[in-house]
Structure 1
Amino acid sequence: MRDSDIRQALTARLATKYDSQPDTQIRHELGLCAGRTRVDVAVINGHISGFEIKSDQDKLTRLELQAELYSRVLDRASLVTTGRYLDQAAEMIPSWWGVWLALPGERAVRLRNVRRGSRNPSPNPFSIAQLLWRDEAMALLRERGSHRGLSKAPRWFVWERLAETLELGELQAEVRRVLRTRVDWPTRP
């Protein structure tokens, strides 16, 4: 089973689930931690949920690092994999992650929930702030009068100030709001 087959089934399922929620964005290849990794499919609404796909053609060599970086940012995460990797991959991810099994179907891949996920117990504010472009982070700081001294500072300092200025819950809500309303996302190739 190929990544594209699983991704198509996952995207269709998520689109059906969130079709009636106009504030929900479904994005492919969402960069995390300043581009150190990308979430295969992300759902952005009242939470940021990420789905990592491991098809039969993939290897699991990067999964532990991906799980670590996803765990810094995402509210919820799920692994979507085939029977080939189900047991091995499920042991490599945190217990709060969900696990979905991709099964071959007559016309399309079927997805079955194997392990229900829960909320991320320990997100990292700085890593969450990194989801924003520099100008978006500066706008949030300006609204709070906390932008002084950062007009020419590198984005790392802007993200750090934002993470220090906002409480975690407020930061998460603001980042989700900005991402949901962002209009010039790069499109997936």
Structure 2
Amino acid sequence: MAKKLYDKDIREPLFDFLEEYYGKIRIIEEKQIGRSRADIMMVLPNGVAGIEIKSDADTYVRLKRQVRDYDRYFDCNYVVAGGSHGLHVSEHVPEWWGIITVEWVENGVDFYLLREAKANPKADLGQKLTLLWRPELANIQEINGLAKYKQKSKAFVMEKLLEKVPKAALNEQISQELFERDYTEIGNTIRKFKEGKL
């Protein structure tokens, strides 16, 4: 019987596989999206992909809700399935989801791209904008020569960006902000933003 694959066995080698396949990427782990937590948010130069890992120790119990949440936030999505799920995982995700299977081989784990992800027809650019912090939205406002809307809510600013910035440009700018995000500095950045120093 094949050895069970757990999440911890899959993650690091998966990052290498994704980098080799896509080139320039940034991996952000355990991102809250709606009522779910995305295992991986993969930032690409012109989009953001969601990746759900289903190891051999996982079940499909929460997958229906997860699919709904992933589809609201990301431009495309993948499920990475351990050997025990490989045969049936396609029955549990929409046809536009990509499928990567993973199994043990002699010198570690091996990944196989069973199905390439297609553009997510349910992607919501407004929802995707909520992934950004307020100072990141301010950077996009500035790049596009928009007013600062300093006293306005995040929702108001997002509405203005959706209204005034072409979709393709906005997708690239969201990715750029996520590529440059510095988790070690976020407390300072938000404080400075609130004090009007940015």
**Alpha-carbon contact 2:35-2:69 (below 8 Å) kept:** no
Name which of structure 1's ranges 172-181 and 137-146 shifts more when overlaid on structure 2: 137-146
Gapped runs of 5+ residues in structure 2?
Answer: 185-198
Cα separation, 2, equivalents of 1:127 and 1:67: 15
Q: Secondary structure at the match of 1:104?
A: strand
Residue 122 of structure 1: CA displacement?
Answer: 3.5
Is contact 2:15–2:27 with CA below 8 Å preserved after alignment?
A: no
Matched with 1:104 is 104
Distance in structure 2 (CA, Å) of the matches to 1:136 and 1:62: 31
Match of 2:50 in 1: 50
Change in CA separation of 1:119 and 1:25 when aligned onto 2, cut-off 3 Å: same
Provide the residue aligned with 2:95 in structure 1.
Answer: 95
Residues 77 and 117 of structure 1 are in contact (CA less than 8 Å); yes or no, is this contact kept in structure 2? yes
Larger radius of gyration: 2
Deviation at 1:14, TM superposition (A): 2.1
Specify whether residues 169 and 35 from structure 1 end up closer, same or farther in structure 2 by C-alpha distance, changes over 3 A only: farther
| Worse-matched range after superposition: 36-45 or 4-13 | 36-45
1:185 aligns with 2:183: yes
CA distance in 1, matches of 2:84, 2:98: 17
Question: 2:74 aligns to what?
Answer: 74
Are residues 74 and 29 of structure 1, via their aligned partners in 2, closer, same or farther at CA, if it must alter by over 3 Å?
same
**C-alpha displacement of 1:47:** 3.0
TM-score by length of 2: 0.76
- Structure 1 pair 91/125, CA: closer, same or farther in 2 (3 Å)? same
SS at match of 1:171: helix
* Range moving further from structure 2, 35-44 or 93-102: 35-44
Going from structure 1 to structure 2, the CA distance change for 1:39 and 1:64 (only over 3 Å counts) comes to same
* TM-score, reference length from structure 1: 0.79
1:3 touches 1:53 (CA, 8 Å); kept in 2? yes
Give the CA deviation at 1:103.
1.0
Residue 166 of structure 1 aligns with which residue?
Answer: 165
Deviation (angstroms), 1:87: 4.1
Q: Percent identity?
A: 27
What is the aligned-residue RMSD (CA, Å)? 2.5
Q: Which runs of 5+ in 1 are unaligned?
A: none
In structure 1, what is the Cα distance between the partners aligned to 2:87 and 2:163?
39
8 Å Cα contact 2:31/2:40 also seen in 1: no
Q: Across the two proteins, how many residue pairs are aligned to each other?
A: 180
Distance apart, 1:90 and its partner CA: 2.0
SS in 2 for 1:156: helix
Closer/same/farther in 2, CA of residues 30 and 152 from structure 1, 3 Å limit: farther
